Structure 1
C-alpha cells in the first residue's frame, strides 16, 4: 500500500480527486473515495522556459492550495500517478508517494 500526497489549487481539487478515485486510489476496506485534505498556501517562481498555469515567469507567486492525502494499492500506484498528472493543471505538479508498512 502507498500513501500519496499532492498539492492543488482549489479550482482543481475535485477534478484531481475524482481522477484518482476512478484510477482506484482512495480505497480502504469496504470504503472508497477516502481522502484527507487541508487548505494552505503554496508558493513558487516560474523560471525561464516554464509554461505556468498561474503566475508570471520570474515572479514569486503565492496561491491558495489544498494538500490532499490518500492511499493506493501497490498495483494501482502507477495508474493513479498518471491520473493525477493528467488531471492536474500545473505543468509540474508537486506530489509525494510513500510506501506504507503493514504492521
Structure 2
C-alpha cells in the first residue's frame, strides 16, 4: 500500500506589485504541484481585495505610517503544498520574497476523506 502524503493549503496576502515575485518563490520551493498523471505545476487561486492594518509603535512598515490606519490593495493567493517539508520551504521562501515586515499567511492541513 502506497503512503499518503499530507496535503496543506498555503494562503497569503501580497501587494500586486510583489505578486509575481512571491508566487515564483513559493513555486520554486515546490508549492502548487498537483499529484497525478497530469503533472500540473504552479497552480494557485488569486483574488484581489483590500487589506487594512495599523502599524504599532515599534513597527517599521513597508507601507503607511506608525499609528495610522492604512488600506491597501492586496492579492490573496491559495495553493496546495504536498508534504510538510514543502509547506515549510514555501513559507520560508514567501517570507524572503515578501516586501512586508510581517507577511500575512496561513497554513491549513487538508484532511483526506
TM-score, normalised on structure 2?
A: 0.89
Question: Does 2:26 match 1:20?
Answer: yes
CA displacement at 1:13 relative to structure 2: 0.4
Matches within 5 A, 1:53-64: 53-64=62-73
Cα distance in 2 between the residues matched to 1:71 and 1:55: 31
Task: Return 5+ residue gaps in structure 1 as ranges.
Answer: none
Divergent runs of 4+, >4 A: none
Within the candidate set 83, 97, 102, 1:87 is matched to 97
Please, what is the CA RMSD of the aligned residues? 0.7
CA displacement at 1:73 relative to structure 2: 1.2
Report the equivalent of 2:60: 51
Q: How many pairs align?
A: 103
Task: Return 5+ residue gaps in structure 2 as ranges.
Answer: 1-6
TM-score, normalised on structure 1?
A: 0.97
